[in-house]
A and B are shown apart, each in its own frame.
Chain A
Amino acid sequence: MNFNGTFTQVIGDLVEQVMPSLVIVRGHRYGAGAGIVWDSNGLILTNNHVVGRHTPVVILQNDGEYESRLIARDPDVDLALLSIEAAGLTPLKPAPVSPRVGEMVFAFGHPWGQRNTVTRGIVSALVSAQNRRGDKLPIVRSDTPLAPGNSGGPLVNAKGEVVGINAMIVGGDQSVSIAASVATDFVRKAISKRAEPVPNDVI
């Protein structure tokens, strides 16, 4: 059995599987962060703090640059949903269950502007942080090295499923990602709100 060859290969496969879904989200003032292709028709998930005051430009892996529309944002969970005019994109799947402590995780992003960087770690702790509303926000802490530029990018498990959205990079040892369950809730609400009939404007 060629263990090294096999092991290296599966990590390579994982990177190949996830990378097409990683985008750059470039705000007009605040530098760039990362984002995740959330569906094939152009929904992009990122951190609220990456978006800033204006809707950002989204850059895909094929270097295509797109002006985005802001669908929803919520500073309390630090998430924002953008939409771009693109189709046939490769989305990531959120993990169906919350991760286990000790599980291997991989962060995809652009730390310090270094494009398409992958860092490795394990889930260190499953904790919750309290936001301004007093709600408990489930957090995945990991020993994965993260840096500015990882914000908004995915933390994936060994199967390539999203277990967290990298955010709130305190620096040093404490890498923090917002649990994927928060992201799916946020996206579901944002989409259902969008689907509500728009009241007729009184002209």
Chain B
Amino acid sequence: MTQNILVELSDALADAAEKAGKATVLVNARRRMPASGIAYAADLILTADHIVEREDDIKVVLADGTEIPAKVAGRDAGSDLAVLKLERAAAPVAEVSKSAARLGQIALVLGRPSRDGIEASLGTVSAIGGPIRTGRGGMLERYIRTDSISYPGFSGGPLVAADGTVLGVNTSGLANGAAITIPADIAWRTAETLAKHGRIKRGYLGIRSQTVEVSAAAQKALKREQGTGLLIVGVENDSPASQGGFIVGDILVAVAGVPVLHHDELFTRLNGDVAGKSTPIEILRGGQPQTVNVKVGER
């Protein structure tokens, strides 16, 4: 017996590491050991923001050993993502997985922290969760956790499915040093914004609030079941909220037609899509629903 399914699986994993490894690059942008990045386009590298400690003299090393100088095209500490622009377009581009990561799926974690070659470890997708506050002032809608080992310098590298396609971007910069993975759809969307605008816009209202129960009568008036909303306990002077006519005692229940039950959801809703735009915000005032159009601020 020379060929069996164990050998086939083993070969497939090595093939996957080789395929995704071609698009996994070394990013040298800090004094300590280099970290990793993913070729998102032939001239654009997606990596973790926290490993970019300097903006000058950034070097990217491709899988074939070619070293190319790079500049920061955009970065966002909140989502811990950065996009680097290569001096010339030479990187083999990563293939993104067509389907999202599934719980229990086997996956490889890849990195290229040295010129010795690609590095990998194997695990399974052990949790898919979110939204979570990132601890860097951002909000991550979804994250993937695996039981694989993240070696030093693996931040910015890909989580790879058994077919060699990319499921997400690994980073130890978002969850107190623990390695998590930013799902590919979120990472690629963020990368596009970063490549185009250089930063991520975040919406701003200028309110302080706390979660409160929405009474049964108020829910009836809202014509939906919604257990909680955000009681406004403070409105900053000259803020978008004060200009929109918010007063202390209002209960915020929806933004742009989407119910908001907790702070985290408000944070998620106040994204780049609404920043700088007039946005309908639904509140309860005296138990009655009311929609106020607010020009959401930009930060």
Contacts and interface: CB of A to CB of B under 8 A. Distances in A.
A121 interface: yes
Nearest to A102: B17
Nearest to A11: B6
B17 A7 contact: no
A98 B287 CA distance: 73
A123 B13 CA distance: 10
Contact of A101 (B2, B17, B114): B17
A10 interface: yes
A45 to B, nearest CB: 24
Q: Is the interface of A mostly helix, strand, loop or mixed?
A: mixed
B151 to A, nearest CB: 7
A140 B15 CA distance: 18
Contact of B116 (A13, A102, A122, A127): A127
B149 A143 contact: yes
A103 B4 contact: no
Contacts of A141: 119
B14 A103 contact: yes
Nearest to B8: A158
A177 interface: no
A173 B16 contact: no
B13 A104 contact: yes
Contact of A158 (B7, B15, B17, B151): B7
A103 B119 CA distance: 11
A106 to B, nearest CB: 10
Contacts, number: 82
Nearest to B1: A13
B117 A125 contact: yes
Interface size classification for chain B: 20 to 34
Given A124-B120, A143-B149, A102 B6 contact: no
A42 to B, nearest CB: 28
A71 interface: no
Contacts of A13: 1, 4
A10 B7 CA distance: 9
Given A143-B148, A159-B2, A102 B120 contact: yes
A13 B114 CA distance: 37
A65 to B, nearest CB: 33
A14 interface: yes
Given A122-B120, A125-B116, 16 more contacts: A10-B4, A101-B17, A101-B117, A101-B119, A101-B120, A103-B10, A103-B11, A125-B118, A125-B119, A125-B120, A127-B116, A127-B117, A141-B119, A157-B10, A158-B9, A158-B11
15 contacts: A14-B6, A100-B14, A101-B18, A102-B14, A102-B15, A104-B10, A104-B13, A104-B122, A125-B117, A127-B116, A141-B119, A143-B149, A159-B2, A159-B7, A173-B151
Top 3 A-B pairs, shortest CB-CB distance = A102-B17, A104-B10, A100-B14
